[in-house]
Chain A
Amino acid sequence: MEKDIAIIGTGFLSAAGRGLEAFYRQINEGMPEGSVLTDFDPDQYLGNKGLRFVANSTKLYCNVAFQAIEAANLTEAVAQNPDGFGLYDGSELSFVDEVFEFDLTAKVQGPDYVSPMKAPNILGNASASYMAIRAGITGPNFSVSGGAAGSLQAIDMAVLHLQEAQTEYGIVGATDGDCALHDILQRGEKRKTTLKPAPAFGAAFALTTVENARAGGHHIYATIKQVASGQRLGFEENHEVLLRLMEDILKQGGRRKEIDGIVLGGAHTFETSKLIEELWWDFDMDHAKIHLPERLFGICDNNAGSLGLLYAMGLSGNRIEKTSVKSLRSCLIGVVDRLGYASMILVSF
């Protein structure tokens, strides 16, 4: 990439709490038994008025996006330069319960009984567009439907705009919800795994160019060096599309010997032993330890990339207890969705 991209702020919310400390607590100690996320904006960024018709997934997205803005000390910058900020949402199906209720009402009771106030909730860009209104952000407003790889795909799009100087800052978030329709979808997919779905959580990151981060005196949590994405083809298995992206990133200039960690999401969709074998024999990367944080956290529908990035940040800062890894210099974070779409980034610390 022409410009390295810095992560300068983070946001996290789950039933375990808010902020990075809550994330580490959840990873290290697990979620307290019976905990359910019921307050989707404990910080009251949105206040209380006018939220009756706003979906929980939207409130959750807004909360973590505001957290990321605040953590990066960008609140003033948003007010001064709203065009310079882009908003990105990598949640594919956070709104599915809203669509279901809307459609069910139209079918059973009739269209005249559907609340027009709930109509915005059935759109895939409901969360990012509501955040734009509440934060006054007028740059690109970008939602993507990348499934489990959606949060990485949203980062990819934010990076693209930063590279082109379409934006000065990107606020990227995604949410995973506890909703009834997700359960139905997961049963329909016949997932071959004993792992449970991840509990509801949202995560967000504030991005800018390294040059801009340094000029603004921002703390840099991690630096994104390369991005790649692709689709599994008919003759490929899911682990092979990840390897193809890895090859792409190495061709772009990623330094093989410096990569000491590979954090993967969507591992329930492929055989990790096959991936490890090829990494050793074909990639000469037996020095890079593979991490599968969904084994600790649960399977993510949208946020596997966010989870991977937060986990890698934890590894680099020696905040993850259930691992022998005590530092991380450079790390590949990749996710493949059940439908074979994959996204990968190379980050350094």
Chain B
Amino acid sequence: MKRVVITGIGVISPLGNDKETFWSNLLLGTSGIRKMTKLPLEKYQGNMLAAEVSWTDTEEDLKDCGLATRYAIAAAQESLRDAGLPTTFKGGNQHGVIIGTTNANQDVMDRTLDTFNIIEKNQDWPIEAQAMFTHMRPIEISTTVSRALNLGGPSVVIPTACAAGNYAIGTACSLIKSGRAKLMLAGGADGFNRSCYTTFYRLGGMTQEDCRPFDKNRTGMVVGEGAGMLVLEELEHALARGAHIYGEVKGYGITCDAYHRVAPDPEGKGASRAMEAAIKRSNILTSEIDLISAHGTGTPANDSQEVNALSQIFGEDLERIPVSALKSMLGHCMGAASALEAIAVILTL
């Protein structure tokens, strides 16, 4: 069985847009959560917070693309540089990219409606608006990264919401283990947009104070954005080129709690089965685990079900194992969340 290792990481986040800044801010306990600036504050009631990315790309040919696409390219390029690889490959089917996302390029919808003042459902769209709108397609995230870096292999966008970054990392791992690829870029990307922010606003999921995962008095999550990309390689491939190896992806598990459209199973059955599968497929014991990176959104519903799930799997070992929940600093970066949290774990090793 082939082994899969991580040799590069790239970050665009509310805590900084490179590995070093991201990591030092995490160590300092700096919070990226501020007053929301990317939508008109007066339209929302209360103390509206967000974990926004402060970054502007300079590539003219990407200006029409969605934020997720632009963040993903920047993070992908940084991950390749970090891995000591060129940012242009030679093509072929052995190098690919998989990106998880929640809302993909829905900011393009915002931009199109705002730029062309579209205010009615059946309004005629100018030709320029139609052209701009084509950049909303989620697939554009991975195809743009693939073409920019000349990655000719699998190019996948997985829109599975909060879990999407982990889905991407796991799937990339499977493709390498199956022999379909030697190297994959995998991670998550999401850009700030009106639909996403409004969703959590209307669902009553957002805090108007601090985001305090697992706190008894927690009051909710904060919407964030960003991208996290990892370079995954077949071990032999990495060793042959003398790459620095951050860690190994031992295994993963993916499940669905099949419970409710917007609420997790209070017993945490879906999460516990995913952890159980990951541990089993990794062929390790729970006693060998030294750190748990939790989803920890800070909402009452998520954190309580997650504690139930962790208790089912780890039992008394939970007294010993530290549990991190970085959304208190990063906010909830949607499809990028689990990729950024995976990067933080890798930097912890």
Residues of A participating in the B interface, judged by any CB pair closer than 8 Å: 82-83, 87, 92-93, 96, 99-104, 106-108, 110-112, 114-116, 119-120, 122-126, 129-130, 132-133, 135-147, 150, 153, 157, 160-161, 163-164, 166, 180-181, 184-185, 187-189, 228-235, 241, 244-245, 248, 337, 339-341
Contact = CB atoms under 8 A, between A and B. Distances in A.
A303 B55 CA distance: 37
B134 A140 contact: no
A129 B256 contact: yes
Given A99-B109, A103-B195, A233-B147, A141 B256 contact: yes
A120 B160 CA distance: 12
B171 A160 contact: yes
A244 B153 contact: no
B115 to A, nearest CB: 12
Contact of A142 (B110, B113, B158): B158
A3 to B, nearest CB: 11
Nearest to A133: B258
Contacts of A108: 119
A116 B202 contact: yes
A188 B133 contact: yes
B140 interface: yes
A157 B161 CA distance: 17
Interface string B166-180: 010001001101101
Contacts of B161: 123-125
Contact of A340 (B109, B143, B270): B143
Query: What band does the interface of chain B fall in when counting residues whose beta carbon is under 8 Å from A?
Result: 35 or more
A164 B253 CA distance: 12
Given A92-B138, A119-B203, A164 B174 contact: yes
A30 B69 CA distance: 39
Contact of B130 (A102, A126, A187): A187
Interface string B149-167: 0111111111111000001
Given A125-B161, A230-B153, A138 B45 contact: no
Contacts of B159: 123-125, 143-145
B137 A124 contact: no
A184 B201 contact: no
Given A146-B156, A244-B152, A102 B143 contact: no
Interface in B208-235: none
Contacts of A163: 178
Interface stretch (B24-32, B259-267, B324-332): B259-267
Given A138-B270, A230-B155, A341-B155, A188 B93 contact: no
A133 B260 contact: yes
Interface of B: 43-45, 91, 93, 96, 101-104, 106, 109-110, 113-114, 118-122, 125, 127, 129-134, 136-140, 142-143, 146-147, 150-161, 167, 171, 174-175, 177-178, 180, 194-195, 197-199, 201-204, 254-262, 269-270, 273, 277
A144 B137 contact: no
Contacts of B255: 83, 138-141
B254 A142 contact: yes
B43 A111 contact: yes
14 contacts: A103-B109, A106-B194, A129-B261, A139-B254, A140-B254, A144-B159, A145-B158, A146-B156, A147-B139, A185-B136, A187-B130, A234-B147, A234-B150, A340-B143
9 tightest A-B CB contacts, nearest first: A124-B159, A188-B130, A145-B138, A141-B256, A231-B146, A116-B202, A145-B157, A231-B155, A132-B258
A294 to B, nearest CB: 18
Contact of A103 (B110, B154, B157, B262): B110
Nearest to B110: A103
B270 A101 contact: no
Contacts of A82: 258
Given A106-B198, A112-B45, A188-B131, A248 B150 contact: no
Contacts of B262: 116, 119-120
Given A87-B256, A244-B152, 15 more contacts: A82-B258, A102-B198, A111-B201, A123-B161, A124-B104, A124-B159, A132-B258, A138-B270, A139-B256, A141-B255, A231-B146, A231-B154, A233-B150, A340-B147, A341-B142
B25 to A, nearest CB: 30
A229 B153 contact: yes
B138 A230 contact: no
Contacts of A126: 261
Given A125-B160, A138-B255, A185 B137 contact: yes
Contact of B113 (A107, A144, A230): A107
B278 to A, nearest CB: 11
Contacts of B110: 103, 107
Contacts of A187: 125, 127, 130
A334 to B, nearest CB: 14
Given A184-B130, A188-B130, A145 B106 contact: no
A244 B178 contact: no
A104 B137 contact: no
A225 to B, nearest CB: 15
B91 A185 contact: no
